[in-house]
Structure 1
Amino acid sequence: MSQVKKAPIILGAVGVALFAIYNSVFIVDERQQALKLRFGQVVGQTEGYRDPGLYFKVPVIDRIAYYEDRILPIETSSLEVTPLDDRRLVVDAFARWRITDPLRFRQSVSNEQAALPRLERVLNAAIREVLGGVVSDAILSSDRIELMNQIRASARRSAQTLGVEIIDVRMRRADLPTQNLQATFQRMQAEREREAADERARGQEAAQKVQANADRQAVELVSEARKQSEVIRGEADAQRNRVFAEAFGRDPEFFAFYRSLRAYEQSLKGSNSTLVISPNSEFFEYLDGAAASPQ
């Protein structure tokens, strides 16, 4: 009977021992890191328990605070920034971060949910700082990658005070505000029209230069051709006159006869072949002689 009465006591002692053993250990897996707290103060490994495994603590007195050891996401709200050229842009960005110093993280923001607003402010400040120092064309071009690296570096420096490391920063979009789109489109259209007018004006100017050059060359070529033709014609006339002079010198009567025949040919051209000439005219000499020759 005494053994029956001792059984509950033994069971109670075993239960207490199991409870004490259970509360004397804690487990950290590969996804976690932990801090041991005693009366609210960090004890044990102040840098945190980061290696997976089984660790010991004082039952009841010690408490374990667990933190994520994985890379965590954060997305910022739409942020309006003003680059150097005063063309406002709406930027959406997201980042990846992780806790690197659990003790500093606990002292700064306590837990992950409380850290998100602080990190968003850090990211927004870095975005405004970097994008506010360049023109909007750089943000919308391939230079965006370098700008994101600069934002990450700036945010990483600020986040170190929170015990956090910014792994990466990316911009999801960078667009004009809705109310500015129409004005921007109109300005772009006006700029393109101005550029088109400038191109047309330059084209017309070039065309006029080409036309003027072509006209000048045409005038020069025609003038040169006329000069050469006059020279050739003059040389031909001189040669013809020389031939006639030589012929006249050899047989003046034949030359006079030839000249008369040429005159008859020119006078009798056309439909009107009637001549009113005095019979005693020298012009009628060879015609008269031709008529009298058969007799």
Structure 2
Amino acid sequence: MMKAAFILPGIAIVAALGLSSVFIVDEREKVLVLQFGQVKQVRDEPGVGFKLPLIQDVVRYDDRILSLPTRPIEVTMSDDRRLVVDAFARWRVVDPVRFREAVGANGVGQAMTRLEGILNDAIPQVLGAVESNRVLSEDRSSLMNQIRDIARREGASLGIDVVDVRLTRTDLPEQNLEATFARMRAEREREAADEIARGGEAAQRVRASADRTVVELTSDARRQAEVVRGEADAERNRIYAEAFGQDPEFFAFTRSLTSYERALQSNNTSIVMNPDSEFFNYLRSDVGADAAKPAPAEGQ
């Protein structure tokens, strides 16, 4: 009984020590075996590993690609414009021994703090040497690659590899937004005023051309009207002359009757003249009768 009382606890202790000496390496992680802070084993392949129980410790690091968003920082470009820039980086642990030596027991948290500092130095270094319009153009990719290369060189001392760096925001500082918007509004208003002025000038040219065309057409129409009127007057005079030449007395008679008709209309209230006036020659019975007789035909 006494032996059984000692054997069972001993077996339990041995089993516990045996289990504590075994560890499993996942395919998504890298493992260091430390003894009093010193690296004794490096395991980056999945499988089962062994360590000394109670003396050695297992430290695990994620072997997958990790993300790091940076805080916004202000960058002064080469054209003296200031932009608020933030980025995110994709990185992974490639050398767990150097990583442990660089960041100590704080692990990934300390590494992200160090990497953010590296990016905050690399971003102004690259962007500060170019004009602001390049950040918004196709050169943006090359600028991000330059930042990535700088971060990769600096990150190698931490045992990490910076896979990619991307700029997520490039905005104006809040205090500059209103001034920028005001300048943009002024530029648009100036362009609008220029367009209005050019439109007014074009409209004035069109109106002047139309006025000139109206004057030309009116003048030509008046000229043609005067020509037609002159031709009509000439034809009228010709007809009158022919009629007068055929029978002057009868022509004078008909002209007098037309004059009587126009003078004695109902809207003329009175006519004052000498009864012996020649105007009434054809109203007298003897003169009117003789004048109304048609001229004898030739040969009768």
SS of aligned partner of 1:202:
helix
Matches within 5 A, 1:185-204: 185-204=181-200
CA-CA distance at 1:77 after TM superposition: 1.9
Q: Report the counterpart of residue 30 of structure 1 in structure 2.
A: 27
Given the alignment of the two structures, is residue 133 of structure 1 paired with residue 130 of structure 2, yes or no?
A: yes
- CA-to-partner distance for each residue in 1:186-206, whole Å, 9 max, x for gaps? 323323332332232223222
Q: Where does the alignment leave 5 or more consecutive residues of structure 1 unmatched?
A: none
Q: Which amino acid aligns with 1:112?
A: V
CA-CA distance at 1:211 after TM superposition: 1.7
- CA-to-partner distance for each residue in 1:127-167, whole Å, 9 max, x for gaps? 4324763435964xxx58x73x4454223312333222234
CA-CA distance at 1:221 after TM superposition: 1.8
- CA-to-partner distance for each residue in 1:252-289, whole Å, 9 max, x for gaps? 333333444444456557636414257254x4433446
Q: Report the counterpart of residue 88 of structure 2 in structure 1.
A: 94
CA-CA distance at 1:234 after TM superposition: 1.9
Q: Report the counterpart of residue 236 of structure 1 in structure 2.
A: 232
User: Within 1, Cα distance between the matches of 2:135 and 2:271?
Assistant: 97
Q: Report the counterpart of residue 273 of structure 2 in structure 1.
A: 276
CA-CA distance at 1:227 after TM superposition: 1.7
- CA-to-partner distance for each residue in 1:212-269, whole Å, 9 max, x for gaps? 2221221122112112212221222222222223323333333333444444456557
Matches within 5 A, 1:32-51: 32-35=29-32, 49-51=43-45
Q: Report the counterpart of residue 121 of structure 1 in structure 2.
A: 117
Q: TM-score when scaled to structure 1?
A: 0.72
Give the aligned CA root-mean-square deviation in angstroms.
4.0
Kept in 2: contact 1:87–1:136 (CA 8 A) = no
Identity of aligned residues (%): 50
Q: How many residues align?
A: 281
User: Within 1, Cα distance between the matches of 2:101 and 2:172?
Assistant: 40
Kept in 1: contact 2:282–2:288 (CA 8 A) = no
Q: Which amino acid aligns with 1:29?
A: D
Kept in 1: contact 2:253–2:282 (CA 8 A) = yes
Q: Where does the alignment leave 5 or more consecutive residues of structure 2 unmatched?
A: 291-300
SS of aligned partner of 1:241:
helix
Pick the aligned partner of 2:177 from 164, 181, 192: 181
Kept in 2: contact 1:159–1:166 (CA 8 A) = no
Q: Which amino acid aligns with 1:164?
A: D
Q: Which amino acid aligns with 2:91?
A: W
SS of aligned partner of 2:189:
helix
Q: Which amino acid aligns with 2:88?
A: F
CA-CA distance at 1:106 after TM superposition: 4.3
User: Within 2, Cα distance between the matches of 1:35 and 1:226?
Assistant: 110
User: Within 1, Cα distance between the matches of 2:77 and 2:273?
Assistant: 104
Cα pair distance change 1:164/1:137, threshold 3 Å: closer
Kept in 1: contact 2:281–2:288 (CA 8 A) = no
Q: TM-score when scaled to structure 2?
A: 0.71
Q: Report the counterpart of residue 49 of structure 2 in structure 1.
A: 55
Q: Which amino acid aligns with 1:224?
A: D
